[in-house]
Chain A
């Protein structure tokens, strides 16, 4: 038993019998000797074929995890933290779940009720485990010094950026409020996560480049700054690659867009981190280049399996929508919200950002037309005019005209909403 009350866990001491000598000894409450050798097993996703043997194997392995996590969640605060900090098998188990658990978007076959029940049980238990790991104050008696908590979760990789992204995409839709609080607390107590997020952005951009390269395409910036590799002209396009490669490419695109959307939706500060790398303009260029190519390949190629073609089409369509929504979240959180909340003295800087973003996007015609269709830019400009009367009308007119041109150049008609009545003075 911990001896002190209302003392943070990281400062508590406890007396326990030594396993070897049997004598009582004083230990810090957070000590590896207090961890139970539980040997958590790794998660395997539900079987694809649904054969009885595979189902049984899944249920058996999942049952071990379910029991172990139930046990873990019932542990007192000090024991729980000893286990999560020192038990590597637990961390591997949790990591395997985040990596392999089926997302709502995955192609899943109908599973038996037993498999579904078990999967649900695990899904909830894993979430509760992460939630508990993100909570530095569980009650008046059970808490960890915030700064120490920040060090513990960071130094032991209890959370890292890929895990946070997995949590967002797995749990964000139904448990957005809890996940949001959880991630905010992690970042608040350990600002190093902001640096890690920043460090992650180039890899995300590289993922977009990889998708383009697989389609035999390159972003303009990459094309101008890097020489073409010898033999790179032989790269296959989306029309030429194998069906399996095209399928993988579309699944990758779909997962990437949904995961990023989930992150920005749940944790708006991530928008600024990504925008500091000019993410939106890269995303728009990506959209302009990759989407028509992949769309054309999915539509025009001959598929032996028509249901696969339809599935891929839906995924491309979903990805398009998500990219547009990501763009909107980025603009919303990095420019519009600060302007509309009028919380900053530097409001003109956010206005300038807004104008610059749209000016730079004018060349991305189909992206702009699709964005404007979903989130009319004229509405935002009108709001800005109310919030910031000094708005440069020449520039806003230029942007709105550019958007009109974008609609024309992609050959679509704008569905105009009736003009809103001006507020009487």
Chain B
């Protein structure tokens, strides 16, 4: 439950703030995730580019295996985002998964967290399968070839901009309770005020 606050009273009873600022309703995390996926899909690398790069840089004998693994990644992406979404959303999810696992051998806590943050709850078997499929594709290339490709094509949309306040010193020090140490155990009313001193 929210703590009683002076500023709560000011917001409710004085006429100096916008009344509809905060309603206390929980946020719709589903819409947030969709927005995030949408934003991600606009960031540089597309599924088409990944598929093209792979087919262009592999010998014919490896292309078949790579293409099958890319299909697995797409399938698992569909399982993770849900089948109700269109091809565009699924391909964008596949890119996310591909980027996430292209330099990871297995699904760790960070990867699980990143996927849940992006898509919400998901079947873990799909993620394991996706990770393995991405690894099989990457193993067909030189160590950093894929990573470099992704880095070059990732959009640096405002990411290289120095964030405001980066060099501003910030302190986490905050007002804390400033009190007398003891609770006087006295029964005499009259003595209470005598015992209680502001001589800190």
Q: Taking beta carbons and an 8 Å cutoff, which residues of A are in contact with B?
A: 36-39, 41-42, 44, 60-61, 63-64, 70-71, 73-76, 79-80, 91-92, 95-96, 98-100, 103-106, 120, 123-124, 127-128, 131-132, 138, 157, 160-163, 165-166, 169-175, 178, 196, 199-200, 202-204, 206-207, 210, 248, 251-252, 254-256, 258-262, 292, 295-296, 299-300, 309-310, 313-315, 317-318, 320-322, 324, 366, 370, 373-374, 410-412, 415
A75 & B35 in contact (Cβ 8 Å cutoff): no
Asked if B10 and A200 sit within 8 Å, CB to CB, the answer is yes
Residues of B within 8 A of A196 (CB): 16
B178 interfacial by beta-carbon distance below 8 Å: yes
Contact partners of B162 in chain A: CB under 8 A: 74
Q: Which residues of A contact B18 (CB under 8 A)?
A: 157, 160
CA distance A86 to B35 in the complex (A): 17
A-contact 0/1 string along B165-200, CB 8 Å cutoff: 100101111111111100110110110111011111
Sample of 5 further A-B pairs with CB below 8 A, known A99-B8, A313-B179: A39-B35, A41-B27, A124-B170, A203-B13, A299-B183
- Please determine whether B27 and A374 come into contact, CB atoms closer than 8 angstroms: no
Distance in angstroms from B175 CB to nearest chain A CB is: 5
23 pairs, A vs B, C-beta closer than 8 Å? A37-B35, A60-B29, A96-B22, A99-B22, A103-B174, A105-B177, A124-B172, A127-B165, A131-B164, A131-B168, A162-B14, A175-B170, A196-B16, A199-B16, A202-B14, A259-B7, A295-B196, A309-B183, A314-B177, A317-B179, A318-B177, A318-B179, A411-B190
Query: In the complex, what's the smallest C-beta–C-beta distance from A97 to chain B, in angstroms?
Result: 9
Do A60 and B117 have beta carbons less than 8 Å apart? yes
Q: Which residues of B contact A175 (CB under 8 A)?
A: 170-171
- Residues in chain B near residue A99, CB distance under 8 A: 2, 5, 7-8, 11, 22
Interface positions, chain B 24-41, Cβ under 8 Å from A, are 25-29, 31-32, 35-36, 39
Q: Which residue of B lies closest to A99 (CB)?
A: B22
Instruction: Contact check, A41 vs B175: say whether CB atoms are below 8 A apart.
Output: no
Chain A residue at minimal CB-CB distance from B193: A410
B1-59 contacts to A (CB < 8 Å): 2-11, 13-18, 21-22, 25-29, 31-32, 35-36, 39
Closest CB in chain B relative to A375 CB, distance in Å: 10
Q: How far is the CA of A210 from the CA of B12 in the complex (A)?
A: 14
Q: Is the CB of B117 within 8 A of A63?
A: yes
Contact of A79 with B170 in the complex, beta carbons under 8 Å: no
SS class of chain A's interface: helix, strand, loop or mixed? helix
B158 contacts A315, C-beta separation under 8 Å: no
CA distance A264 to B112 in the complex (A): 48
Q: Is B9 a contact partner of A207 (Cβ separation < 8 A)?
A: yes
A259→B117 contact, CB < 8 A: no
Question: Any chain A CB within 8 A of the CB of B61?
Answer: no
Complexed CA–CA distance, A256 and B193 (Å): 23
B17, B28, B159 — which one has the most chain A CB atoms within 10 A of its CB? B17
Chain B residues near A60 (CB-CB < 8 A): 29, 116-117
Are the CB atoms of B197 and A412 closer together than 8 Å?
yes
Provide the bound-state CA to CA distance between A277 and B16, in Å: 18
CB-defined contacts of A313 to chain B, threshold 8 Å:
179, 183
Which among A41, A96, A256 is the interface contact of B6 at CB below 8 angstroms? A256
Interface membership of B86, Cβ < 8 A? no
Q: Which residue of B lies closest to A42 (CB)?
A: B27
Name the CB-closest residue of B to A202: B14
| CB-CB nearest 4 A-B residue pairs | A174-B171, A174-B173, A104-B174, A128-B165
Interface: B123 (CB within 8 A)? no
What separation, in Å, do the CA atoms of A370 and B193 have in the docked complex? 10
**CA of A91 to CA of B21, assembled, Å:** 7
Would you call A75 and B16 a contact (CB within 8 A)? no
- Known contacts A76-B158, A106-B3; is-contact A318 B196 (Cβ 8 Å): no
Query: Measured between C-beta atoms, what is the minimum distance from B197 to chain A in Å?
Result: 7
Given A74-B159, A165-B6, A411-B190, A157 and B21 touching (CB < 8 A)?
yes
CA distance A206 to B8 in the complex (A): 13
**Minimum CB distance partner of A160 in chain B:** B17
Q: How far is the CA of A175 from the CA of B8 in the complex (A)?
A: 23
Q: Which B residues touch A39, using CB under 8 A? A: 31-32, 35
Residues on the B chain within 8 Å of A169, using CB: 175
**Nearest-neighbor residue (CB-CB) of B171 within chain A:** A174
Given A42-B27, A292-B193, decide whether A262 and B183 contact each other with a Cβ distance below 8 A.
no
Question: Within 8 Å of chain A (Cβ to Cβ): is B163?
Answer: yes
Contact: A131 with B165, CB < 8 Å?
Answer: yes
